Amino acid sequence: MNNLMAPYCQPPIKNIKKTKISLPSNSCDTHVHIFDSGKYQYQSERAYTPHDCTSNDLIQMHNRIGISRSVLVQASVHGTNNQAVLDRCKIDPINNRCVISINKDVKETDIEYFHSIGARGIRINLVDTGGMPFDSIEEVYEISKMISNFGWHIEFLLHIDDDNIKLTNILKNINVPIVVGHFGYMNTSKGISEKKFLEFISLLKDGHCWVKLTGPYRISNEPSLPYSDVLPFAEKIIDAAPNRTLWGSDWPHVMLKYIMPDDSELANLISNWIPSKELQELILVKNPEILYGFSS
């Protein structure tokens, strides 16, 4: 069912180029979504309507850029129906993990079942319509106690410079590691000396949270690649906490306002952000193994 109030996104580029960069063996894309409207319905309360971007489409894209491991992240349009990401994990349980969406009614037996399939965390989206399945942040604190028994984490989509969101308070009250997406989702125009960004860097240095180098177009002021204004942010993050940094394509780039990037060229940015082969191995392979439980 499509909501006329939730406009269609741009579709991703399907016939992508071949990458110039050669990624390490067992590299992991820690942030992708699956959309197949014939199989998985969208909730009416949502911010966007995606074009179909199926499991097979994802495989083709990853084969092209040299990715063998994936983390399927529950999209806000699916609410708490996690079937799309769980089904993908069932297809290839060795090389796939997922981050799901739950609500306060979930039971420990449900978490145990999700874990057996490949779920390793839950997502709380404080940005997009339909992405917050809890009535309050206090309910999130309570549920974190349950999922801590399984070694899970909570991934937050939030703006670190939002005065209404106190990341330090979240960290004090949460019982599991947290992951922050899209570089912290602060516009690059504020610069790397912005107080909230420096506070975020301090939290990363202290080992209190992880960060994903995903969606550079979501914080950049450039309408197309190479998003050069994002480079100082990537460098600052990696310098502060290389062992708490992850990379993801953010495929299929939903709600993109400007020019759709070629995924191979997005992957090529890794050589700019992470020029060291040693750091590429850490961020693309070893860190995902730790957080998501891939076999080394």
Q: Which amino acid is residue 63, in one-letter code? A: N
Rounded to whole angstroms, the Cα distance separating 239 from 291 reads 19
Rounded to whole angstroms, the Cα distance separating 81 from 166 reads 28
Quick check: is 5 in a domain?
Answer: no
Closest CA to 240 of 296, 189, 183, 293: 183
Quick check: is 73 in a domain?
Answer: yes
DSSP for 119-142 reads: EEEEEEESSSTT---SSSHHHHHH
Q: Which amino acid is residue 124, in one-letter code? A: I
| H or E segment and range at residue 239 | helix 231-240
Residue 137's pLDDT is 87
> What region does 34 belong to: left with phi over 0, alpha with psi -120 to 50, or beta?
beta
Residues β-bridged to residue 213: 247
Three-state SS at 178:
strand
Residue 2's pLDDT is 47
Residue 129's pLDDT is 66
Q: By the 8 A CB rule, do 229 and 220 touch?
A: yes
In 10 A of CB 256, how many CB atoms?
A: 17
Three-state SS at 91:
helix
Residue 280's pLDDT is 98
| CATH code of 246's domain | 3.20.20.140
Rounded to whole angstroms, the Cα distance separating 41 from 47 reads 15
Quick check: is 7 in a domain?
Answer: no
What average pLDDT values come out for the chain (296 residues) when binned by 10 residues? 72 94 97 96 91 96 97 94 96 97 94 98 83 85 95 94 88 93 97 96 94 98 97 98 98 96 98 97 98 92
Look at the chain and report how many structural domains it folds into.
1
State the residue range of the domain holding 192: 28-292
Quick check: is 22 in a domain?
Answer: no
Quick check: is 82 in a domain?
Answer: yes
Residue 56's pLDDT is 96
* Torsion, Cα of 268, 54, 63, 263 (10° steps): -10
DSSP for 179-228 reads: EE-GGGS--GGG-TT-HHHHHHHHHHHTTSEEEEE--GGGT-SSSSTT-G
Quick check: is 3 in a domain?
Answer: no
Quick check: is 217 in a domain?
Answer: yes
